Amino acid sequence: MKLSDLKIIVTGGASGMGAYFAKQLAAAGAQVAAGDVNEALLAELPAGVHRRKLNVADPADCEAFVAWANEAMGGLNGLINNAGILRDGLLVKKDRTTGEIKKLSNAEWDAVIGVNLTGATIMVREVVAKMAETGQKPGVIINMSSVARHGNRGQSNYVSAKAALAANTVTWAREFAPFGIRVTCIAPGMVETPMTQGMNQKARDALVANIPVGRIGVPDDLWLAAKFCLECDYFNARCLDVDGGLVM
């Protein structure tokens, strides 16, 4: 698919990779509808990008956003499922000083699953339903997974969500083939975004030291992968690892 033919939603589009994707797509001639909970940062996107507040953890908001995006762009044929949050912590740990047993809270689990998995799934459901209803084809979806999907200490909630997204990329590619919709996946490693900038510095430095290419990734590294997923009509039901060779 040509980038200029896209009418595409980008979730988590106000900052980090989402904002970078939205800007690159708009510059390539695509119509872009960016959604995020951060309306102030959404307002900083280029004027040509359609913008609206979106909380992917709210199913009704997802449905309303998709309907709005379809109307605003005069159609809909793409989704980059990028919205995500971190609430890291060991599932169970023992305080070294007091001996107290501490557990990952239900709230921390629910928050990450609600945004990174349930929200992403609802967005796929609503986008595909709208495309099936309107007969728009071909279409393409990119799910943003993570190298952490293979397992990473202190990220039970995040790993669960990202592993499920990668697996459901295959499920959805098979389910949506009759609608002419491809489903692809990108699994970033360490990338310079506001999310990773908020990491514990010691943990961040240790991860960067284990990247064979010797540097942290930048959004343009992921844009090259996204561009391939969007443009290559024979790429489907697969996950691209873009991680510099990092093994967690």
Residues identified as active-site:
158
Question: Distance between CA 73 and CA 8 in Å, rounded?
Answer: 8
- Name the residue among 7, 12, 24 with its Cα closest to residue 68: 7
> In terms of Cα–Cα distance, which of 153, 148, 78 is closest to 116?
148
| Other C-beta atoms lying within 10 Å of the C-beta of residue 66 | 25
CB 139 within 8 A of CB 180: yes
Long-range contacts of 236-239, Cβ-Cβ distance < 8 Å, separation of 24 or more: 236/173, 236/182, 236/183, 236/184, 237/169, 237/170, 237/173, 237/174, 237/182, 237/183, 237/184, 238/169, 238/184, 238/185, 239/145, 239/166, 239/169, 239/184, 239/185, 239/186, 239/187
